[in-house]
Chain A
Amino acid sequence: MAENPALPAARAPSPLAALLRHARHVVGENPVTAMAFGLFFLLLLCALLGPWIAPHDPLASDTARALAPPSLSNPFGTDHLGRDILSRVIVATRLDLGIAICSVALVFVLGGLAGVAAGFFGGWTDRIVGRIADTIMAFPLFVLAMGIVAALGNTVTNIVIATAIVNFPLYARIARAEAAVRREAGYVQAARLTGNGEWRVLLGTILPNILPIMAVQMSLTMGYAILNAAGLSFIGLGIRPPMPEWGIMVAEGAAYIVSGEWWVALFPGLALMLAVFTFNLLGDGLRDIVDPQRRS
């Protein structure tokens, strides 16, 4: 609710070169951030090339080899239908990242624009956006997501929509706070004086300036979006089978933990964790890059 005190109150636009130099500096200084970037590229690779990297067909069952422990031919073992878990984990990357990216992009557009407009124009716009955000915040968020998916049906699109709606207040508030402090900043005044209309100032001057801070938020909510989708799957509101998806795989594998077939849940669980972990660290790293307090 209160904006992050680590974030600066106002900042003049900085040239791209300086930012890049600073980024190199942060990554060089902080091994954790470097690791996060490495992991991110690995995930991206799996998402793009998944079907070609996977050693087996992720959908092909082989009931004779059901629940086989990890081995050379199936390094992550097989599931209850004898499907190769490694292949399923790899192929699932695209879907999971896709859900996260789409939902974050959607909320970025909706929440970001609404928030910027609220902060910039104030008055009624501010009040309406604020009310909407307040109302959503008053909901228990996971249950709201559940309700939306249950009501609209459990498809990928609806999971994306539900995750975006749940994150709306966060984006709207951050964008609003950032836009409000910039409303009267010098460079904004300058843009006005050169004869730009209010909307042009908003979209052309304010929005680009708060993008870095929004990018940090996007990375952090990516992780949450993945967890949210996985949680929905666990409740039984996930994506329809047989598409491989980490959350569903963990939920299905959970039934086999007690009987000793730990690999069914563990590996998708680790992949899920790794992805969320990566996005969280990445968000932190991006914040360091964007945050001038660390730039001394």
Chain B
Amino acid sequence: MQRRAFLAATAGALAAPALRPAPAEAQSASRAETLLLVQEYGPNSMDMQGIGASQPVNGVALNCYDRLLSYKKVPLPDGGGHSFTLHALEPELAESWQEASDGMSVTFKLREAKFHSGRPVRAQDVKWSLDRAVSIGGFATTQMAAGSMEKPEQFVALDDRTFRIDFIRKDKLLMPNLGVTIPYVIDSETAKANSGGDPWAKEWLKNNVAGSGAFKVESWKPGVETIYARNDDWWNASKPKLRRIITRDIPSPSTRRALLERGDADVSALLPPKDFADLAAAGKVKVVGVPVPNGIWYCAMNSATGPFTDVRLRQAVAWAMPYEKIMQAALYGRGVIMSGAEGGPTTAWPQPFPYNTNIEKARALVQQAAPGGITTSVLFDAGQATVAEPIALLVKEALAPLGITVELNKVPGSNFRGELAKKNSPMVINRFAGWLDWPDYYFFWNFHGSNSIFNVASYQNPEMDRLIDTARFTSDAAAYEAAVKGFIGMAQREAPVVPLAQPLHDMAMQKNIGGYQFWPCREPDFRAFTKG
């Protein structure tokens, strides 16, 4: 009896509607101007240039700081919002710019804008910020170098409102690279005043924002939530529609989905593909998917060591790969399939390879190369297991009838990069996306003989290197096209990597949320969101 009484009491307590806080009248107004975004994890710093900044820090850089320039927005099909093109640049803090007649420098004219501190934005601030990016080390410096910005001497403040960048070589990536979330402009005087002696104010900027951007950080509780408030003194006449953005860290994806479906959260990123597929099909909330530019899921085979040094085995795997099943059971259709190309390579990237699932061709190749069969293993990141594990299991199953026995090697995210750096894994399932959307940029990181950590197949081929280098630095359109088609065709024949699918970057949101904007850094742009 006592037990029953207790159960009744518990049920009563849970049922009490009073437990659901009813929005007070005063709050309802602010709710209409507030966006609640749920994400897996939040920023670990406020400084994207700093060492060890996590992916969400890009969002701080994007929304709280401004850059010299930005990219042209391109509307997405079915009115889902906007994507971008890197081939048309738009002014941000720079009102206009002019390339020198010798083509070896560019001069920017800055607009009138104020930092959050109230200080005006000056060319000296731009110089300090870019000096910092090329000197601070780590990811920021590497990213700057990708656009041939390597030394502080390249940056010159001519007067308060005029700024010049000198080129050390002609590089088509330099200008687009100014729009990514690294070369943002910092309030240098405020930063230096608080630096405590550190020339780059690393500690202070890690914990504070000193920008001119459309949002300020109102509160930051790492691992819990970050609250952004609109900067009403922003230079841009078209102010953000939303006053406040609350981002909460909710590690469980099914909780994020539940929050969205019940209308308690406005926007959620990074759900498993299945959830996006379900949500899109159910139609209660809006799902916007953008094919990740310059990004693919792939299966890499080590062409420097182990069984897959034999090109026939790599091709056999490419023919055995269950592309359709992977699209269905791992990506739930949230991607673009990368198999069955016909008619030779084009200059697009990503593009399908000329393989499809054909067990007979695969078996014939294995018969030639390894009639006794082989035993090998496939490496993937536990942090990406939602997609990578089903792929690995399907690959294992597809290769078994060929006499290729595959063991699964699932390692935690902290260890994954270390495993890649060893360069001895025979097979790896992984994804890669380059910020700067050029095929030669992708191929430089993934297939060049400089053997970066992203060259997971450890592919080395002087002819490949020559084609990639030609494409990177030629200014002749025809030579560029020939080189790109050349290296893509070579990758298709040599198959150090089998592309599986180009993933969609999905974002789910309530139907009353509009203005979604997709950028290379993949973090949502709060400046563009609308509600109501």
- Residues of A bordering B, CB below 8 Å: 59-61, 63, 66, 80-82, 150, 236-237, 240-242, 254-259
- Are the CB atoms of B274 and A259 closer together than 8 Å? yes
Given contacts A241-B408, A259-B275, 17 further A-B pairs with CB under 8 A are: A60-B397, A61-B394, A63-B325, A66-B328, A80-B274, A80-B329, A81-B329, A81-B393, A150-B412, A241-B389, A241-B410, A255-B253, A255-B272, A255-B274, A255-B386, A256-B254, A258-B257
Q: Which residue of the partner chain, among A82, A240, A257, A259, contacts B329 with CB atoms under 8 Å? A: A82
Taking the nearest CB of chain B, how far is it from the CB of A21, in angstroms?
Answer: 35
The residues of A that contact B385 with a CB separation of less than 8 Å are: 236
B120 at the interface (CB under 8 A from A): no
Q: Show 27 residue pairs from A and B whose CB-CB distance is below 8 angstroms, ordered by the A residue.
A: A59-B397, A61-B393, A61-B394, A63-B325, A63-B329, A66-B329, A80-B274, A80-B390, A81-B329, A81-B393, A81-B394, A82-B329, A236-B382, A236-B385, A240-B407, A240-B410, A241-B392, A241-B393, A242-B396, A242-B408, A255-B254, A255-B272, A256-B274, A258-B258, A258-B261, A259-B257, A259-B275
B232 at the interface (CB under 8 A from A): no
Q: SS class of chain A's interface: helix, strand, loop or mixed?
A: loop
The residues of B that contact A63 with a CB separation of less than 8 Å are: 325, 328-329, 394
Taking the nearest CB of chain A, how far is it from the CB of B250, in angstroms?
Answer: 13
- Are the CB atoms of A240 and B408 closer together than 8 Å? yes
Known: A61-B393, A241-B393, A241-B408. A254 touches B325 (CB 8 A): no
C-alpha gap A236/B64 in the complex (Å): 35
- Are the CB atoms of B278 and A259 closer together than 8 Å? yes
The residues of B that contact A237 with a CB separation of less than 8 Å are: 412
Within 8 A of A (CB), among B234-290: 253-255, 257-258, 261, 272, 274-275, 278
The residues of A that contact B396 with a CB separation of less than 8 Å are: 242
B347 at the interface (CB under 8 A from A): no
B470 at the interface (CB under 8 A from A): no
B54 at the interface (CB under 8 A from A): no
- Residues of B bordering A, CB below 8 Å: 253-255, 257-258, 261, 272, 274-275, 278, 325, 328-329, 382, 385-386, 389-390, 392-394, 396-397, 407-410, 412
Q: Which residue of B lies closest to A242 (CB)?
A: B393
C-alpha gap A74/B22 in the complex (Å): 45
The residues of B that contact A80 with a CB separation of less than 8 Å are: 274, 329, 390
Taking the nearest CB of chain A, how far is it from the CB of B283, in angstroms?
Answer: 14
- Are the CB atoms of B409 and A240 closer together than 8 Å? yes
Q: Which residue of A lies closest to B279 (CB)?
A: A259
Taking the nearest CB of chain B, how far is it from the CB of A228, in angstroms?
Answer: 19
The residues of A that contact B407 with a CB separation of less than 8 Å are: 240
Taking the nearest CB of chain A, how far is it from the CB of B166, in angstroms?
Answer: 49
- Are the CB atoms of A61 and B408 closer together than 8 Å? no
Taking the nearest CB of chain B, how far is it from the CB of A174, in angstroms?
Answer: 32
Known: A81-B390, A236-B412, A240-B408. A61 touches B254 (CB 8 A): no
Q: Which residue of B lies closest to A61 (CB)?
A: B397
C-alpha gap A254/B386 in the complex (Å): 12
Q: Which residue of A lies closest to B328 (CB)?
A: A63
Taking the nearest CB of chain B, how far is it from the CB of A62, in angstroms?
Answer: 10
Taking the nearest CB of chain A, how far is it from the CB of B146, in angstroms?
Answer: 33
Taking the nearest CB of chain B, how far is it from the CB of A162, in angstroms?
Answer: 16
- Are the CB atoms of A258 and B329 closer together than 8 Å? no
The residues of B that contact A81 with a CB separation of less than 8 Å are: 329, 390, 393-394
C-alpha gap A150/B328 in the complex (Å): 32
Taking the nearest CB of chain B, how far is it from the CB of A3, in angstroms?
Answer: 30
- Are the CB atoms of B394 and A254 closer together than 8 Å? no
The residues of B that contact A236 with a CB separation of less than 8 Å are: 382, 385, 412
C-alpha gap A56/B529 in the complex (Å): 50
Closest 3 CB pairs of A and B: A63-B329, A258-B254, A63-B325
The residues of A that contact B278 with a CB separation of less than 8 Å are: 259
C-alpha gap A255/B389 in the complex (Å): 14
C-alpha gap A95/B390 in the complex (Å): 21
- Are the CB atoms of B393 and A254 closer together than 8 Å? no
